[in-house]
Amino acid sequence: MPNKILVVDDEPDVLNLAKLVLEGAKLSVITASNGKEALMKAEDEMPDLILLDIVMPGKSGLEVCKILKSQPQTRHIPVAIFTVLDRDVDRMLSVEAGADDFLPKPLKPEDLLLFVKRVKAHLAKAQSSQQLK
């Protein structure tokens, strides 16, 4: 069974591109378009990794990340922040929220290919830590 990725973004074009690239890398993709939906799908689907935009209607990605990392059932899921906000402060806030990685948008094809490699590394790390428990 392929690894399951939850991609959260309020822009349909971004969701579709991420889904296309990740599925091309043999990963299973679930999508959500806002923070509330992301929290529900994270709990229901228990993805192997969450790719999370910061700027969304309702709960921001940073708020969602903090919630996910504070709950026992989801705290082990790696979260990668995926955003147009690419200032040092945005990276710092992402780390403070508990994010495991940071990917700036817009994406170039080579960025996506490199990110897929990082996603697979996060998934391998998450799987090995789960096996240790």
Model pTM? 0.85
User: What range does the domain containing 100 cover?
Assistant: 4-132
Find where tokens 């979260």 sit. Answer: 79
Instruction: Say how many domains are in the chain.
Output: 1
Q: Exposed, middle or buried: residue 106 (CB in 10 Å: 0-12, 13-18, 19+)?
A: exposed
Could you report the per-residue pLDDT of 70-86, keeping only the tens digit for each? 999 999 898 988 877 76
Residue 18 sits in a domain whose CATH number is: 3.40.50.2300
Could you report the per-residue pLDDT of 25-60, keeping only the tens digit for each? 888 999 999 999 999 999 999 998 899 999 888 899
